[in-house]
Chains A and B, each alone.
Chain A
């Protein structure tokens, strides 16, 4: 009854669907005579991307490399480190987990204006927002992952006379990796959102968020769409990189053996 999807189908259908949408978009703009200030056709967006590569590159470095990626590694390492410390103290863990879970559900991005006030207009404030945003999902996921070993496995380690550190390195951390990667997948998306929003509150004269607001003000919509395209490609690529590393590192996990 259910056919197995071939690799070709798994690629052809989504690509075809995407192209169809682009085509309909292009045709609709032409047929209905929509003003390019309102909705530029995909061809114009493509032209804008290739026509202003240096600007886009500068914005990309400012927002993604300096803001998002710096914040991402700081927040992720902090989240994992705190999880490892907290994990040793059951009392703290029971206290911190609900609090962290709650923080993870909050619109932490609202801290952006405060961070801009503290750390200035340049990328430092953006990295700070991103670090705080990704800290909580990383913390919660790592803690969840560290709890994902069963008694049998831990007993086995004990029969080997493995101490806390050995058990952590050889059993519990590897077992936690799928959860850590889950957290990272959430984190990369949040990182881009945080870095761009923080730029709405003040930035040097480059950056994707800055460009989007200023070009929107000039009704240069094709440039806005160019930045959107770049940010979409970046978001997808970052997610893809995490997924790829996950596949390499946690090849033993059932979810990766499909």
Chain B
């Protein structure tokens, strides 16, 4: 450690911890404020006058709080991940695995479509002129509006489960970052490099495979993290809008319909944790692949 220079802990970890701590405190305060209405209401009905400490205690123990306190959510998460069997429908691990499956299928489909579109756009003038504007427009269309139609159509072509439409929704959101980065990557070789290949008498296909594709790899890897996050959001949105009965999004839906806020909050946090794991994993794979291909570690 260089003297005078702050350590990583005080420079980057401490501020993050501070912000998180502040958020948790604000959350507790908000929960006490919001849930106390119900407490006072109950007390008034019972004809008692609760003391402040009793109110605070009660706001953290309600079965159906407006805003559950962090340790309630943590307890519910613990209960639905560790305590429940993973085969149980109430297990967040089971529900999360459904969402994960959708995410990964959507991600795979999105990456393939993204690369194919990018190749088409880079290689063909007509392709670029006619596809590029539509690709951009596609992202300004709210996919949730299309969701019910996608369900009906994939049912019609014989997809039995909801996995297909959900994966399509996830892919719809995740192909775009890959496509944009791949276009940038495939067009990144400069004139000197292209000219060199021409002096070798290289064919268009050789230029593509031997120059453009390797040159695009860093861009490709950089887009994967954005793409997996988009696929995950797409998977949850898909579950919310296709009236799915399993998956984290479906748990949120069920919690809403049965007036069980704890289920909603637990599903929400399970989703956040799963998103973090996904982004972290893809980031780690990206680092390994980049090193394996001789690139600079970032």
Contact = CB atoms under 8 A, between A and B. Distances in A.
A39 B149 CA distance: 8
Interface string A173-193: 000000000000000110011
A202 B257 CA distance: 10
Interface string A23-45: 00000000000000011000000
Interface-centre pick from B125, B140, B149, B240 (highest chain A CB count, 10 A): B140
B129 A13 contact: yes
Given A113-B255, A117-B66, A208 B145 contact: yes
A235 B153 CA distance: 23
Interface in B257-298: 261, 264-265, 267-268, 271-272, 275-276, 279
Interface stretch (A48-56, A73-81, A99-107, A142-150): A99-107
A99 B233 contact: no
Given A17-B134, A95-B15, A228-B149, A114 B233 contact: no
Interface in A39-97: 39, 91-96
B15 A94 contact: yes
B16 interface: yes
Contacts of B106: none
Contacts of A111: 268
Contacts of A192: 142
B130 interface: yes
Contacts of B229: 105
B125 A231 contact: no
A96 B249 CA distance: 27
A54 B275 CA distance: 41
A212 interface: yes
B2 interface: no
Contact of A16 (B130, B132, B268): B130
B50 interface: no
B16 A95 contact: yes
Contacts of B137: 232, 236
B99 to A, nearest CB: 9
B150 to A, nearest CB: 11
A112 B18 CA distance: 28
Contacts of A98: 12, 16
A111 B272 CA distance: 12
Contacts of A232: 137, 140-142, 145
Given A99-B20, A212-B145, A109 B236 contact: yes
Contacts of B144: 193, 196-197, 200, 209
A201 B256 contact: yes
B163 interface: no
B145 A228 contact: yes
B289 to A, nearest CB: 21
Interface stretch (A154-162, A219-227, A245-253): A219-227
A204 interface: no
Given A17-B131, A197-B240, A38 B152 contact: yes
A233 B139 CA distance: 12
B241 interface: yes
Given A3-B125, A91-B18, A200-B241, A39 B153 contact: yes
Contacts of B265: 114
Given A93-B15, A111-B268, 15 more contacts: A13-B130, A14-B130, A17-B134, A39-B156, A105-B279, A106-B233, A110-B252, A110-B271, A192-B142, A196-B144, A196-B145, A197-B144, A213-B148, A228-B149, A231-B145
14 contacts: A38-B152, A39-B153, A99-B20, A102-B276, A110-B267, A113-B255, A114-B261, A193-B142, A200-B240, A201-B253, A216-B148, A225-B149, A227-B145, A232-B141
**What are the nearest 5 A-B pairs in CB distance?**
A95-B15, A113-B256, A13-B129, A17-B130, A95-B19
